[in-house]
Amino acid sequence: MGLALIAELSNMKFVAISGSLRKDSFNTKLLKVMQELAPEDVQIEILSAALPLYNQDDEASYPAPAKALKDAVNAADAVILSTPEYNRSYSGVLKNAIDWLSRPYGSNSFAGKPVLVAGVSIGRIGTAVGQSHLKQVMVYLDAKLVGQPELYLGPGNDLFTEDGTLRDDSTRELVKQALAALAARAG
């Protein structure tokens, strides 16, 4: 096998979805940090979760944004989901994206796909409860979840500098370890 082919095979493409549409979203900031900290052979593309509300009646003529998201996830080697915690669960924005990605019946984009769940909130326990709920859904959808390390990050107001850089070296190292674990799952 030639060196060019080996290099091509070792490059991985991850897609990342933020469960927040907020302009200054901590979860989107985390995904941007992940792009910078990804292993050398991993490229991370952040996808938009701004989709129409899921309606089974629309499955026959999939809306273009939902189809684009589904195509990107299907083509990816792995998925990163970063969610805020709302009412002790994950966000409705992310729930809606998951509904589009897991439908129609028989075309679940998460089946067998390596998935890393992460999250940032303003509280000290990060998004632990919301992520627990999200992980239950991912297990049902037959995703290959990364169990360790867990990324329950917060408080979000203290986590990032004004330009979106992580302030803390130990958090940066934890993110690198999580991305390495996802790459190992996807490899």
| Mean pLDDT of the residues in the chain | 93
Q: List Cα–Cα distances, 72 to 53, 56, 77, 158, in angstroms.
A: 19, 21, 10, 33
pLDDT number for residue 123:
87
Contact by Cβ (8 Å): 18, 82: yes
Residues with Cβ within 8 Å of 116's Cβ and at least 6 positions away in sequence, in order, are: 78, 79, 80, 81, 145, 146, 151, 178, 179, 181, 182
Domain layout of the chain by residue ranges: 12-186
Residues 115-165: tens digit of each pLDDT: 999 999 998 888 999 999 999 999 999 999 999 999 999 999 999 999 999
pLDDT number for residue 50:
96
Q: Omega of the bond prior to 84 within 30 degrees of 0, cis?
A: no
Residues 55-66: tens digit of each pLDDT: 999 998 999 999
CA distance 138 to 145: 7
12-186 sits in which CATH class?
alpha beta
Residues 43-53: tens digit of each pLDDT: 999 999 999 99
Residues with Cβ within 8 Å of 132's Cβ and at least 6 positions away in sequence, in order, are: none
pLDDT number for residue 121:
94
pLDDT number for residue 125:
86
Q: What percent of the chain has pLDDT over 90?
A: 90
Contact by Cβ (8 Å): 17, 92: no
pLDDT of 3 above 70: no
Residues 140-149: tens digit of each pLDDT: 999 999 999 9
> Quick one: tokens of 178?
């999580």
Provide the pLDDT confidence category of residue 10 given band limits of 50, 70 and 90. low
CA 187 to chain centre: 17
Tokens 């709302």 found at? 86
